[in-house]
A and B are shown apart, each in its own frame.
Chain A
Amino acid sequence: MKIAIPVDEKSIESSVCISFGRTPYFLIYDMESKKSIFLDNSAAASQGGAGIKAAQTIVDNNVGALLTPRCGENAAAVIKAANVKIYKTINDSIIDNINALNEGKLALLDDIHAGFHNHGGK
């Protein structure tokens, strides 16, 4: 299974990004082959609806799970429609979170927030 994590820099040593929709990069990590790819998040500079566009990107990369500290409701609607599971990260270390997922220690993200921008692209 491939997973996606919003990350601050193009390195597995960097940290998990606090924002899903406006993260600069996504790490696409293959749990079996242990290969990593870093994607530019084209949604980062969007006027509005960044979460929707970012969610479309990770769904298009055929991931099975998203690991993120938080996620807005529009993005969550897209991700859930694609049957991708959303897990809540435990800290800002990418490796810790991948290990925790492997060990079955990550919980599903259930506190989906209503967005911070008054209903998206205002």
Chain B
Amino acid sequence: MKIAVLSGKGGTGKTLVAVNLAAAAKESIYIDCDVEEPNGYLFFKPRDIKSEKITIKIPIIDERLCKGCRKCVDFCKFNALAYINDKLIVFDEVCHSCGGCVLFCPEKALTEKEKIIGEVQRGVSDNVTVITGILNTGEASGIPIIKKLLSDTSAGKGLTFIDCPPGSACIVMESIKDADYCILVAEPTLFGVHNLNMVYNLVRLFDKPHGAILNKCLDGENPAEKFCIEKGIQILGKISFDNELGTLNSNALISVRENMKYRDMFSALLQTVTKEVRHETAINP
């Protein structure tokens, strides 16, 4: 079962939740899809790392064959091609690698070259297989890396936690596309509610079973909790605003591996989550 952890903004506790739930499980896979700034590996410190480069395909032109018909320029809806002074110019960083220009070229003047945009690293940290996507700085889209990250586990039957990028853009959609369940992590502020609403709309659009974990809870009013009750979002658990937990986390330690108190807390949360997922997959197979 694949469980995606997401939130509308950074810093709400996606990684805290995903890392600790994965560590609390007997055996699990943790996938860091936040390819622009992956940080789960900082907690897991995985060993036996195997790295694989990820490439995309970018068109290149054979100027001897190009007759300047501009079919490729007109086709490209991302405007990655221009035809100037009898020469085709390709803007690699604007290209979305759809391959349409190559198909449309009547002179077969366009072919594709491989361009490295990042890598996928797999390693092991005790009971957790850690898979990290890394997008090279300056590259436009991490989606090819996320596709690779998630294709590897599609056959996996174990428990998989997907640590999503923040927000609700394409890169998050790609990360939750094949998830069986989505955990929305939220902060107890009005700003937190705004961001929770973004991911709530997203998981509804994708028709994904979901529940919320309320992080950094304080005594008193919790706007995120109010929002969940109003919208009928299942609250899976609450994590209090806790100095000790925050300190462990900011020292890149996995709290369930450091303190029985947190092991119990996240184990209970894991039990709630897996029960929910089983329930959801039973009624919506």
Q: Which B-chain residue is minimally distant from A120 (CB atoms)?
A: B94
The 8 A CB mask of A86-122 against B (1 = contact, 0 = none) is 0000000000000000000000000000000011111
Stretch at the interface among B19-27, B49-57, B83-91: B83-91
Answer whether residue A1 sits at the interface, using C-beta atoms and an 8 A cutoff: no
Answer whether residue B80 sits at the interface, using C-beta atoms and an 8 A cutoff: yes
21 A-B pairs with C-beta separation under 8 A? A46-B79, A48-B78, A48-B79, A48-B94, A49-B78, A49-B79, A52-B80, A52-B81, A52-B82, A56-B79, A59-B82, A59-B84, A74-B91, A81-B89, A82-B85, A118-B140, A120-B78, A120-B93, A121-B80, A121-B140, A122-B140
Chain B residues within an 8 Å CB radius of A77 = 89, 91
Contact (Cβ within 8 A) B82 A119: no
Given contacts A78-B89, A120-B91, A122-B141, contact A52 B84 (CB under 8 A): no
Q: Which A-chain residue is minimally distant from B70 (CB atoms)?
A: A56
Give chain B nearest CB distance to A19 CB in angstroms: 15
Contact (Cβ within 8 A) B79 A43: yes
Chain B residues within an 8 Å CB radius of A49 = 76, 78-80, 91, 94
Answer whether residue A70 sits at the interface, using C-beta atoms and an 8 A cutoff: no
Answer whether residue B238 sits at the interface, using C-beta atoms and an 8 A cutoff: no
Residues of B in contact, count (CB < 8 Å)? 22
Main secondary structure of the interface of B (DSSP, over half): loop
Interface residues of B in 120-179 (CB under 8 A from A): 138-141, 170
Q: Cα distance A101–B58 when bound, in Å? A: 40
Answer whether residue A17 sits at the interface, using C-beta atoms and an 8 A cutoff: no
Q: Cα distance A122–B141 when bound, in Å? A: 7
Interface residues of A in 28-74 (CB under 8 A from B): 43, 46-50, 52-53, 55-56, 59, 74
Answer whether residue B275 sits at the interface, using C-beta atoms and an 8 A cutoff: no
